[in-house]
Amino acid sequence: MLNSILRALIFFLLLSSAVAAQTTIEWWQFWTDPDIKPTIVAMVKEFERQNPDLRVNLTDLTWANGHEKIAIAFASGAAPDIVELGSDWIAQFASAGRLADLTDHVASQRLHYQGWTMATYNEKVFAKPWILGTRLLFFNRDLLKRAGYTADFAPVNWAELGHAIAAVSKLGSGIYGWGSNTAEKHRLYKKFMPFFWSAGGRIFSEDDRFCVISSQQAIEALKFYKSLHECCGYVADQRGIEDAFLEGKVGFVISGDWLLKRIELEERRINLGTVVMPGPGPDFSTSQVYDPNLQVTAYPGKSFMGGEFLAVNADSKNQLGAVKLIDFITSPENQLRFCKANRSANPSSREAQLDSYFQSNPHLQNFVMQLNLSAHPPVDPNWVYMETEIEAAVERVLFENAPPGETLRQLQKTITNLRKQ
């Protein structure tokens, strides 16, 4: 009897020491949709099989309050080992000393991935790019056909875009040419900045010393954006705009690859067209003050680039394991697996980008093309505040008829002050 109790005790001790030898890596991530979460879980299980000494504990975040949760967790010392971050947040957390410096670890990987500039703050790399994202112009071919356009039409400059949007808007009540964003944060600037960058606008001078957001190019871009909003805008939040677009009420919207996924999963019958963001074109003139000698980007224009990054908590006790997991998740094979499950168009791995999957669909091809024609906001800890100010300024012009030039000059002062702080 005593013997069997002793045996059981030894067995229990051996078992518990084996469990204790396992290190648990906490990973907070945003992919919660039922069509992608199982892939994440499967990848994690595979990682655990390959690394029996490591266990991964997944926690889901939502875009509605994920940023706040991460900030609170860092402030209270309860942050996970690995955290998924939107590209715009990296500088904020890195400047506060919350993220581990990955510069040395990723040195040999730099050529194989895209998006490092968004993760680099003060010349140090604080996160590894995972899935990148850009925005395309989506349009409804049936509405264009009804407005008198040929089946293969796609706008290639601002003049063509403006005319097509106006023509769709004239189709009748309840039909709008353009989806115009409002009523939520972190959206509007991603819709305006493509026009701003395409016109040659810059937020800071090339030497990064001065804010130059009120340049003539920026004013032209804002005037054009306002003209689309005023003549033909269906105003709602992103979800509302996409709903209206899928119901055939809106001709043109700017959106990301998630809309392709939605169309497929919801089996929407829409005669869809996508095209890279049109640039102003050489003969663009919608305002009195248009300067024909203005340096403008020819078609195609630029779009917004952002993405999902994986970063390691600076205070993590499991940094080696965390980096191992990040490398596993961001490997070309796993990125491809993720993109296929999530219908994502832009893996950060250059090897994954070359896969035939992305060549098989013209819309995905457009996303790949657009990603290489995109710009991203400055990597600045104050960017999140600047972004809020840019959105407020654009909204004042769109909804309160504030003059674009004066509004952008005021914005320039505000951003300059924010940089000084």
Partner 1 sequence: MRSSRSVDLSLTSPWTVTLLLFWAFPVAYSLLIGFTDYRLLIEGYRWVGWDNYRSLFRDPAFLTALENTFIFVLGTIPVTTVLALGMALLVNRQFRGRSFFRSAFFLPSITSMVVIALIFTNLFSRGGYIAFLAEMAGFSPPVHGFLYDSRTALYAIMGMDVWMSLGYFMLIFLAGLKSIPDELYEAAEIAGASPMRTFWSVTLPLLRPVAVFVVVINSIKSFQVFVEIFVMTRGKFDTATGVYFVYEQGLTTAFRMGYASAAAYILFVIIGVFSVLQFLVLRRRTALW
Task: Tell me which residues touch partner 1 (CB under 8 A).
Answer: 67-68, 71-72, 74-75, 92-93, 96-98, 173-174, 180, 182-185, 233-236, 240, 384-385, 388, 395, 399-400
| CB-nearer residue toward partner 1: 156 or 235 | 235
| CB-nearer residue toward partner 1: 220 or 387 | 387
| CB-nearer residue toward partner 1: 229 or 261 | 229
| CB-nearer residue toward partner 1: 90 or 371 | 90
Q: How far apart are CA 366 and CA 311, in angstroms?
A: 29
Question: What's the closest the beta carbon of residue 170 comes to partner 1, in angstroms?
Answer: 16
Tokens for 182? 């409002």
Among candidate residues 72, 53, 45, 76, the one with its CA nearest the CA of residue 61: 72
| CB-nearer residue toward partner 1: 145 or 185 | 185
Q: How far apart are CA 197 and CA 126, in angstroms?
A: 26
| CB-nearer residue toward partner 1: 165 or 199 | 165
Q: What's the 3-state SS for the chain?
A: CHHHHHHHHHHHHHHHHHHHHCEEEEEEECCCCCCCHHHHHHHHHHHHHHCCCEEEEEEECCCCCHHHHHHHHHHCCCCCCEEEEEHHHHHHHHHCCCECCCHHHHHHHHHHECCHHHHEECCEECCEEEEEEECEEEEEHHHHHHCCCCCCCCCCEHHHHHHHHHHHHCCCCCCEEEEEECCCCCCHHHHHHHHHHHCCCCCECCCCCCECCCCHHHHHHHHHHHHHHHHHEEEECHHHHHHHHHCCCEEEEEECHHHHHHHHHCCCCCCEEEECCCECCCCCCCCCCCCCCCCCCCCCCCEEEEEEEEEEECCCCCHHHHHHHHHHHCCHHHHHHHHHHHCCCCECEHHHHCCHHHHCCHHHHHHHHHHCCEECCCCCCCHHHHHHHHHHHHHHHHHHCCCHHHHHHHHHHHHHHHHHC
| CB-nearer residue toward partner 1: 9 or 75 | 75
Question: What's the closest the beta carbon of residue 72 comes to partner 1, in angstroms?
Answer: 6
| CB-nearer residue toward partner 1: 65 or 359 | 65
CA geometry: angle at 155 spanning 114 and 305, to 5°? 20
Question: What's the closest the beta carbon of residue 157 comes to partner 1, in angstroms?
Answer: 27
Whether omega before 34 lies within 30 degrees of 0, making that bond cis, reads no
Strand partners, 134: 305
200: left (phi over 0), alpha (psi -120 to 50) or beta: left
Question: What's the closest the beta carbon of residue 331 comes to partner 1, in angstroms?
Answer: 31
Question: What's the closest the beta carbon of residue 71 comes to partner 1, in angstroms?
Answer: 5
Question: What's the closest the beta carbon of residue 182 comes to partner 1, in angstroms?
Answer: 6
Question: What's the closest the beta carbon of residue 163 comes to partner 1, in angstroms?
Answer: 21
Q: How far apart are CA 402 and CA 413, in angstroms?
A: 16
| CB-nearer residue toward partner 1: 68 or 264 | 68
Question: What's the closest the beta carbon of residue 346 comes to partner 1, in angstroms?
Answer: 26
| CB-nearer residue toward partner 1: 92 or 318 | 92
Question: What's the closest the beta carbon of residue 184 comes to partner 1, in angstroms?
Answer: 5
| CB-nearer residue toward partner 1: 97 or 292 | 97
Question: What's the closest the beta carbon of residue 187 comes to partner 1, in angstroms?
Answer: 10
Question: What's the closest the beta carbon of residue 126 comes to partner 1, in angstroms?
Answer: 14
